[in-house]
Amino acid sequence: MILQLNHLQRNHAASSAQDVIGALYSLLEEGRLEQSQFAHLRVHLDWIQYRQNFRDAVTVTREPSEHGEIHPPIEMHVDTRQLVPDSLREDILRAMIRANPEPEGVEDRLFLEDFKTFRSSLVWDFNRLYWHRLPDWEEATGRSYEQALPGGKSDANHPEAVADCVADFWTLLRDLENKNRLAPEIFALEIGVGMGVRSRIWLDRFRALDQERGTNYYPRLKFLLGDYSLSTLERSRPAVREHLDLCSFIVLDAIDPTKTLSFLRHKLLHIHLTNVYDNLPDEEFARRDGRLHLVQVRAYIPSGESVRIAKAFELPAGEMSRTVNRLLESGPDYFSDHSRGVAFWQEIWKALRLEERVVSLEDLPDVSLPAGLDPSHLEDVLQEAPADFRFHLSSGALESFRSTLPLLHPRGFLQVQDIFVTDLNEYLLGFHGPGKLDGSIVNWVNGVLLREVGERAGYDVHFAPFRYRQGSRTSILYTTQRE
Amino acid sequence: MNLPILPTTVVGSYSMPGWLERLKTEYFARRISRHDLDEIHDTAIKAAIKDQEIAGIDIITDGELRRDNMIDYFVERLPGVQIDRSSKKFYYDFYDSSVIGKLPMAPLGLAGDFRFLAANTERETKFCVTGPHSLSKRIRNEFYPSEEAFATDIARVMNLELKELVKAGARLIQIDEPNYSGFPADLSWGVKVLNTMVEGVEAKIAVHICYGNRYGKPSWEGSYRYLFPKILEAKVQQLTLEFARRGGEDLDLLKEFSAPFELGLGVIDVKTNAVETPDLVAERIREALEVLPAERIFILPDCGCFHLPRNIAFAKLCAMVEGTRLVREELKN
C-alpha cells in the first residue's frame, strides 16, 4: 500500500493517517480486504477546503488494467475533513464494494448521467443555471454571491489593487501618447462584472487620476462591461451610472470573447477578469507512473437523499431524475410554485455528488486538448511534474485566455485575478477543486498551462500574489509582450 | 521576368508545421544532428514549394522554413556577431547576440539556399532577406558609435550577399524592414542604409514594411503616413505593404505622394484563421486599382504565413489566386 498525504493540515494529517492505516489493517486481518487488494492500494489523504463539494468521505476508483495486469491499482481518496473515525471502516468497505467492476447489492445512488468527461457533466448545467438565475438564488439564501465568498467580499473590489491597476493603465496611455501612438478612442474591457462594483471603482479612480494629471484621457475612454449573463449585466448598470456615457454592456461568451468582440481585435489596451476562470468548464487528468489518464465522472444523488428530497417535495421517487433534468432545462419555473422550485434546486445541488473513474488516454484517441496546447506541449510541461498526481487541464480557462489575447492592442495588457496553481507540485500539497461555492462550481486554475499557452501566443505570463489582503489565496496573472 | 498581370506571390514565410517546430527545438537541445535537420528542412521546403504551385502562386519562395525567425537566420551568418547559443529555450526565441568589433566583410552563404529553391521549381522565384535596420534592433551594439553606423556596416555586408544571390540567378529580392513601423524616427537614416544595401545590385528589389507579425500579432499600430516622403528616396522598385488587416485607407498615400514604386498589395490577413473569399480579395484589388494601374501591382498576403495552420494558409493562398483571377478577367474584358 502507498499512502500519500496531499495536504499540509498537520492535525488532520497526523490523526487521520493513523485512523486510515488502522482501519485498513483491521479490515485486512478480518479478511474483509484481500491481500492483493491491500498490495495495490494507493491511498490519498486530501483535505477539501470547500465544505460543500462533490465527494463522499471515502471514494475508491479502480484504475484500468494496463499491459495485462491482473491486479490494477486501486485508488482511494479520503477527505480527512469529512472523515468520521467511527464510521471509517464502513465507509471504506462500502467504497471498495462500489468500485468493483460489477458491484453486488449496492444500489445506493441515483445516477443522473453516464460516465463522461468532467467538462461534459451536467454539473456545469447547474453552474450555468446559477449564474442565469442568480437573483432567485440570492433571494432564497438572503445573501448575495459576494457575501458567499470567503471573507464575505470579493478581492476584485479592493481599492488599492484597483488604484494600482489604474495607475499602470494611465502610464501605458502616457507612454503611447509620447510616441504619438495613442489612438483617438481608448478601449478597455472588464469581463465578469458582477454587481459592477469593481468597474465603478476603476472608472472613478481613472477619472480622478486623469483630472489630477490633466491628460484628458477619460473622455476618450470606451469602457466595456462584459458578462455571459444578461441579468448580471443589468445589475451592474446602477453601479456605473456616473460613467454611463462611456460604458457599453455586452453579453459575451466567456470561452470565446472574440465571437462578440472581433471588431476590437488588437485594439483593447486593457482587459481585466476576476474570478471567471475558476468557474469555467474543466477537465481533470491523472498521471500514474508517468502515464496520462483522463478522469471521467457521473453525477449522482445518494439514494437516501433522493428519497428524502422526493418526499419533501411530494414527488414520485421514480421521477427524480426527470425532474432534475426539467429543472436544468427550465429553471425553477418548472415548478408551479417558484419558491418551491428554488428550494428544490438548492436541495439537489447540496446533495449532488460525482462518481469518478480514470481512463487511459491511449484508449481515448478523440480527447482533444484546448487550442494552443497540443500533446507535445503538455508533455514538455509534465517533464518537470510529479510522476503521480492529479491536475486540472483548465480547458475552459485556456480557451478563454487564448481567445482573449488577440483582442489586445500590441502594447495592451491582460490581468486576471483568480486562484491559480503556479507550480504543478502544488497539486500534491492541497485540494484544488472542484468544490461548490454557493450554487456554482469553483476550481483552481492551472496557471502552469496558462503560462505555456501564453508563451506560444507571444506573451510572457507572470503571477503575483494578491498582496492587498492578508490570507488571500488570489493571485494576479498579468501578461507582458514576449519578444 | 515572365509574369501575368497582377502577379501573385507570398511575402516570404509559409506555414511552419508543428512537427518541424518540435524538430527545430530538438536540434537546439542537441537531440538531432545538423545533417538531419538540413534534410528535414529540404523536405519541408519542397512541400511548401509544392503547396504554392498547386495554389497557383506565380512567384515562389522557399517558405523561409530553414529560419527560426527573421533575425537569427542572418545573425548566425553575419561575421563578427557574438551569439549566446544557450539563450534559446524554444527555437522561435531570439538569440541573445552582440557585436563587439567592426563587422568584417564576408559572405553569408545564402546563395546555396536560393539555389535549392530555384532547382525545385520552374516558376519565378523570390528570395527574402531581413534589412539592416531591423537586424540592428535585435543585435546588441557594443562597438559602433550609433545604431546608424552599425546598420550601415550590416548593409555593406548584405550588399555583397545580394550580389552573390544575383550571380546565383536571383531576379527578385525582397528586403524585410518591419521595424520601420516601430521606430519611425529612424527612417531618415534607415532609407540611407537601405540604399547602401542595394547599391549596384542588379535585381528587382522590393522592401516589405508591415506592422509586425511576431507570434502572429501586430507589434505596432498606426498609419503608413510616417513613411512619406522619406521613402521616396529609397532606391527600390517595389513597396510591399499590408492592407487587408488594416484597411485600404493608406492607399491614397501612394497617389498623394506620386510614389514611383510598384505596390506589393497585401490582400490576405495573416493574423486570423478566417479564410477570405475570392470576392473579398477581388474587392481589395479593385480598391488599389483606383490608385495605381494594374501593371504596377503585385498581389500578396499582408505578411508571412508562418503562424497560420497549413490548411488555412493554403486555403488563403487559393482564395488570393482566385480573387486575382477574377480581376484579371475583368481587366481583360
Q: So what's the pLDDT on residue A102?
A: 64
CA distance A164 to A248: 23
Q: So what's the pLDDT on residue A404?
A: 95
Q: So what's the pLDDT on residue A66?
A: 58
Q: Quick one: average pLDDT of A278-285?
A: 93
Interface A-B, measured as beta-carbon pairs within 8 A, has a size of 40
Q: Which of residues 58-97 of B touch A (CB under 8 A)?
A: 90, 94
Helix (H, G, I), strand (E, B) or coil at B178: coil
Q: So what's the pLDDT on residue B95?
A: 92
Q: Which one of B22, B215, B217 has the shortest CB-CB distance to A266? A: B217
Residue B167 contacts A, CB cutoff 8 Å: no
Would you tell me how many other CB atoms lie within 10 Å of the CB of residue A195?
18
Q: Quick one: average pLDDT of B93-122?
A: 95
Minimal CA separation from A183 to chain B, in Å: 8
Q: So what's the pLDDT on residue A30?
A: 92
Q: Do A181 and B222 touch (CB under 8 A)?
A: yes
Cα-flanking dihedrals φ and ψ of residue A191, to 5°?
Answer: -110, 130
Residue A175 contacts B, CB cutoff 8 Å: no
Q: What is the pLDDT of residues A294-328, one digit of tens each?
A: 999 999 999 999 999 999 999 998 899 999 999 99
Higher pLDDT pick, A147 / A71: A147
Q: Which one of B22, B94, B218 has the shortest CB-CB distance to A266? A: B218
Q: What is the pLDDT of residues B2-23, one digit of tens each?
A: 899 999 999 999 999 989 998 9
**Opening angle at CA B128, ends B122 and B132, nearest 5:** 160
Higher pLDDT pick, A65 / B156: B156
Percent of chain A topping pLDDT 70: 96
Q: Which of residues 13-42 of B touch A (CB under 8 A)?
A: 18, 22
Q: Do A183 and B90 touch (CB under 8 A)?
A: no
- Chain A residues near residue B214 by CB distance under 8 angstroms: 458, 483
Nearest CA in chain A to B71: A483
Is A264:A187 a contact under the CB 8 Å cutoff?
Answer: yes
How far is residue A55 from each of residues A15, A47, A418, A431, A444, measured CA to CA in Å? 20, 11, 23, 12, 17
Strands A74-79 and A58-62: antiparallel
Q: So what's the pLDDT on residue B125?
A: 98
Q: So what's the pLDDT on residue A105?
A: 58
Q: Do B271 and A406 touch (CB under 8 A)?
A: yes
Mean per-residue pLDDT over chain A, rounded: 90
Instruction: Work out the burial of residue A36: count CB atoms within 10 Å of its CB; fewer than 13 is exposed, 13-18 middle, 19 or more buried.
Output: exposed
- As given in the structure block, the three cell numbers for residue A418 are 483568480
- Chain B residues near residue A182 by CB distance under 8 angstroms: none
Which of A144-148, A430-434, A458-462, B205-209 shows the lowest per-residue confidence on average (mean pLDDT)?
A144-148
Residue A65: which pLDDT band, with cuts at 50, 70 and 90? low
Residue B138: which pLDDT band, with cuts at 50, 70 and 90? very high
Would you tell me how many other CB atoms lie within 10 Å of the CB of residue A325?
15
How far is residue B97 from each of residues B83, B87, B238, measured CA to CA in Å? 4, 9, 31
Whole-prediction pTM value? 0.89
Q: Do B215 and A458 touch (CB under 8 A)?
A: yes
How far is residue B24 from each of residues A371, B21, B40, B43, B62, measured CA to CA in Å? 21, 5, 9, 14, 17
Q: Which one of B214, B221, B271 has the shortest CB-CB distance to A409? A: B221
Is B165:B117 a contact under the CB 8 Å cutoff?
Answer: no
Minimal CA separation from A458 to chain B, in Å: 5
Residue A259 contacts B, CB cutoff 8 Å: no
Amino acid at A277: Y
Residue A172: which pLDDT band, with cuts at 50, 70 and 90? very high
B232 pLDDT above the threshold of 70: yes
Q: So what's the pLDDT on residue A70?
A: 55
Q: Quick one: average pLDDT of B217-226?
A: 91
Which of A211-225, A463-477, B195-209 shows the lowest per-residue confidence on average (mean pLDDT)?
A463-477
Q: So what's the pLDDT on residue A378?
A: 87
B32 pLDDT above the threshold of 90: yes
Sheet with A268-274, strands from edge to edge, namely A247-251, A221-227, A186-191, A268-274, A408-418, A475-481, A459-465
- Chain A residues near residue B218 by CB distance under 8 angstroms: 266, 410
CA distance A45 to A365: 32
Cα-flanking dihedrals φ and ψ of residue B241, to 5°?
Answer: -130, 160
A427 pLDDT above the threshold of 90: yes
Q: What is the ipTM of this complex?
A: 0.86
